[in-house]
Structure 1
Amino acid sequence: MANSANAKESKEEIFRKMEETAHRLMEEYEFVDATTPTIARGYTRAHGDYAFRVVPTGEPIPDATFVSAVYSTQPQGCDPAAGTAECILHSSAAKRELLAYPGYPTPLPHAPGGAGAAQACPPYRIVNIPHKGLGMVAARDLAFGEVITNERPLLVAPQYILLDFIRWLRAPSGWENQQVALFETQRFYRMAYERMRGEDKVAYLQLYNAHAHDGSGPLLGVQRTNSFLMFELQGVPYCGVFKDASRMNHSCSPNTIRRIDRTSLSMQMFAARSIKAGEEITSSYCDPLLPSAARQAKLAPYGVRCTCSGCLKPVESDKNRHRINSTKDAVPAIIQWAGSPGLPEGLLLGPSVEVLRLIEAEEQEANEVHERVLYHLALIHDALELMGAPRPEGAGYRGKWMQLTALDRARSFGALAKYKEDREKVRAAVLSRRRA
């Protein structure tokens, strides 16, 4: 998500060429367009005749069977200094679900000195990184679990926008079909872009666009290049584009953990492990536990060639990552072991510690498997303590698992409740083991 170092055309020039190409295709294939482009607020509605129009906010929706897009600035009336997001929502029901989320809206969490307050010593800087363009580096040493970014998106939109209102009187080729579809999707984004504050418009178009020459247009191209998956509304996945967080470059061994906070419509990035001052802060654009060749194939459209330790030693790393990825929920096995007097006390501890060491060696602390293995180790140690076995010094698995869980306040309470329930099952199993 770095800036393009070789951009030869201005954003407006790309806009102009995109408009010219799209209008030519629309004329060639007799595309029916009933847009009212001067209205930038409210609902964009699509009828069965494939024409679409805009219904201003406040007017009744004429037909519930229409396909719609709702434009909304969120959150409203809460923490204005922290900024707002322009939202393209696929229906009025999606907007109602967004607004009805428990606790919404609230100020940004974890902000020192109050919501939107600037930190005395910011944890990161945006700098030029050789061969990558702009990226994010640590401005100081960062500890595991420390907040790095705490940010509302510039734009929130569905991962895919349905274009049911498009028709051609003559069937186009696949490429021409794609070009017109990309152009019409770009129009959705332009309506949202025009609603942004001036500084947000500048920040959005300064983000790298890996799709500048495939017909996406500058706004859609930026979204396709820089968006993070956030949440679902009415079963539809939504993504966000961020001013700073979208600057993070890729690594198959990322050093950040991403958490979405629905109540504040924001995303937090936490340090997945200790990060030294000057070290690059990274995220992962694909599943880092895939084989190296599969990861490189997924990164190729972004022009990314990862050189993390795992990609430089793919044979050894792929074997380790396959072992990590094979780790499944072991809670039933732990409970069974805890209640079986014929099984040795150290049966599960060694293999679990081995997987944890592989996770650390492959720098996969940001992966959900890390939290799962720590949870298993916490329960195993609970069982060993109840059995009277000596506790290894410096383990701290339970505490680290709780730290990880606390990073996601939406699910931390439920996770702790589940831990208490599973711990009680382990305790009951150990008591039965003693009686056997």
Structure 2
Amino acid sequence: MDAAIVILDHLDNIREISRWDLWKRPEPVPAPDLPFVLEESSTKGMQMVARRSIQQGELIALERPLVVSRTDIAIAEDQSTTGVFYRAALSGLSAEKRRTFLSLCNSFGSEEERLVGILNTNCCTIPLAPSPSGIPTAYSGLFPTLCRANHDCAPNANFFFNPQSFTGQFHAVRPIAKGEEITVLYSELAASRQERRAELLQHYKFVCECKTCSLPPALAELSDTRRRAIGDLIPLMHQGTYADDMTIAHLDELLDWATIEGLYALYAELLVYGYGLAIKLDLHVQAQKWSRMAAAAFKILDGADSPRLN
């Protein structure tokens, strides 16, 4: 029988994943009236475009991955660079799904073997359960429809992987007009234009010309200043620590800048960080306010199934 999903991992992990209860449930299917269409672009290849107006927080698309790969899996170089390993793995898919896979973009051209290039161009990081040993492992997934969405440094959609249904999902982070391109994030948002462009060129082989990257010099410098200020806070956010001079007023300013820059995911994370700061400062009314705002923001980003709502 043809496989619905190819999983590249150690055998013990594959056996464990195959026993998950979620495979006994019907596969989630998108609504019949999809709010988007896929179109050819004169400059970007395929693109995802809104076929009607889309409301903030609305589920735009969902699908299960075609390929899931453990990112640190060891593959002999002669089997990886020549594509032998991947051809063998993908042979389990139906002919239609293999054609779908082969229709996807390889941004690396002749630099990489075609199958390797397609995976490296289109896969995105997804959270998966730890290995049977209990050690967390990094995985990537290839979603054949979702990967058609192009990058923007201020995207109008957020990618969320729902482990309950094993689906990748796009949710609108702001209202999207009919005919507007639906975009997501490929690179680090809280970085300067030069840094973002360098990362995108290295990993995806294109120079970003989004609205933010196309700002005139003075406005681009102002945008970079805002993004760097938010980026400087990210290590503290991950550690859950607060500088001695961190104030509610400064958090408010960063929240305003995240809104101006269209950094909705970081806006939500700043609210959580601000909640912790308000608790530390015994400002419980402010903490409750930011807690409610964070819950609303994560519901927009991920939908009602967001694990960050618990």
Q: TM-score, length-normalised on structure 2?
A: 0.80
Whole-angstrom CA distance in 2 between matches of 1:183 and 1:331: 41
Residue 46 of structure 2 aligns to a residue whose secondary structure is strand
Residue 326 of structure 1 aligns to a residue whose secondary structure is helix
Give the CA deviation at 1:353: 2.2
Whole-angstrom CA distance in 2 between matches of 1:117 and 1:311: 33
Give the CA deviation at 1:97: 3.8
Equivalent residues in 2 for 1:251-270 (5 A)?
A: 251-270=152-171
Whole-angstrom CA distance in 2 between matches of 1:410 and 1:103: 17
1:133 aligns with 2:45: yes
Highest Rg: 1 or 2?
A: 1
Q: Which residue of 1 aligns with 2:74?
A: 162
Residue 52 of structure 2 aligns to a residue whose secondary structure is coil
Whole-angstrom CA distance in 2 between matches of 1:282 and 1:125: 13
Q: Residue by residue, what CA displacement relative to the aligned partner does 1:305-352 show, whole Å, maximum 9, x if unpaired? A: 112233234322221101112334498769x99xxxxxxxxx944322
The amino acid of 2:168's aligned partner reads M
Identity %: 24
Q: Which residue of 2 aligns with 1:85?
A: 5
Whole-angstrom CA distance in 2 between matches of 1:257 and 1:377: 22
Q: Which residue of 1 aligns with 2:270?
A: 373
Q: Residue by residue, what CA displacement relative to the aligned partner does 1:241-273 show, whole Å, maximum 9, x if unpaired? A: 122101011112222212112232211111122
The amino acid of 1:260's aligned partner reads F
1:221 aligns with 2:221: no
1:95 aligns with 2:14: yes
Give the CA deviation at 1:134: 0.9
1:323 aligns with 2:229: yes
1:309 aligns with 2:211: yes
- The 3 A distance-change label for structure 1 pair 87 and 405 is same
Is 2:30–2:62's contact at 8 Å kept on the other side of the alignment? no
Residue 310 of structure 1 aligns to a residue whose secondary structure is coil
Give the CA deviation at 1:403: 3.0
- Residue among 65, 76, 85 paired with 1:153: 65
The amino acid of 1:94's aligned partner reads N
Q: Which residue of 1 aligns with 2:54?
A: 142
Q: Which residue of 2 aligns with 1:355?
A: 254
Whole-angstrom CA distance in 2 between matches of 1:332 and 1:315: 28
Q: Which residue of 1 aligns with 2:174?
A: 273
Residue 295 of structure 2 aligns to a residue whose secondary structure is helix
Q: Residue by residue, what CA displacement relative to the aligned partner does 1:98-134 show, whole Å, maximum 9, x if unpaired? A: 24557565445xxxxxx325333x1211112231111
Q: Residue by residue, what CA displacement relative to the aligned partner does 1:150-207 show, whole Å, maximum 9, x if unpaired? A: 111111223254234x6xxxxxxxxxxxxx45434x1121123222123212221111
- Residue among 237, 243, 264 paired with 2:144: 243
RMSD over equivalenced CA pairs, Å = 3.4
What is the aligned residue count?
292
Whole-angstrom CA distance in 1 between matches of 2:187 and 2:241: 30
Q: Which residue of 2 aligns with 1:188?
A: 85
Give the CA deviation at 1:228: 1.0
Q: Which residue of 2 aligns with 1:296?
A: 197
Give the CA deviation at 1:229: 1.1
Is 1:107–1:264's contact at 8 Å kept on the other side of the alignment? no
The amino acid of 1:355's aligned partner reads L
Whole-angstrom CA distance in 2 between matches of 1:263 and 1:385: 33
The amino acid of 1:205's aligned partner reads L
Whole-angstrom CA distance in 2 between matches of 1:131 and 1:242: 22
Whole-angstrom CA distance in 2 between matches of 1:105 and 1:189: 27
The amino acid of 1:259's aligned partner reads F
Give the CA deviation at 1:378: 5.8
Deviates more, 1:372-381 or 1:198-207: 372-381
Whole-angstrom CA distance in 2 between matches of 1:237 and 1:385: 37
Whole-angstrom CA distance in 2 between matches of 1:118 and 1:143: 15
Is 1:311–1:317's contact at 8 Å kept on the other side of the alignment? no
Equivalent residues in 2 for 1:6-25 (5 A)?
A: none
- Residue among 299, 304, 307 paired with 1:411: 307
Whole-angstrom CA distance in 1 between matches of 2:291 and 2:137: 35
Give the CA deviation at 1:291: 2.3
Give the CA deviation at 1:359: 0.5
The amino acid of 1:244's aligned partner reads T
The amino acid of 2:87's aligned partner reads R
Is 1:212–1:218's contact at 8 Å kept on the other side of the alignment? yes
Residue 253 of structure 2 aligns to a residue whose secondary structure is helix
Residue 269 of structure 1 aligns to a residue whose secondary structure is strand
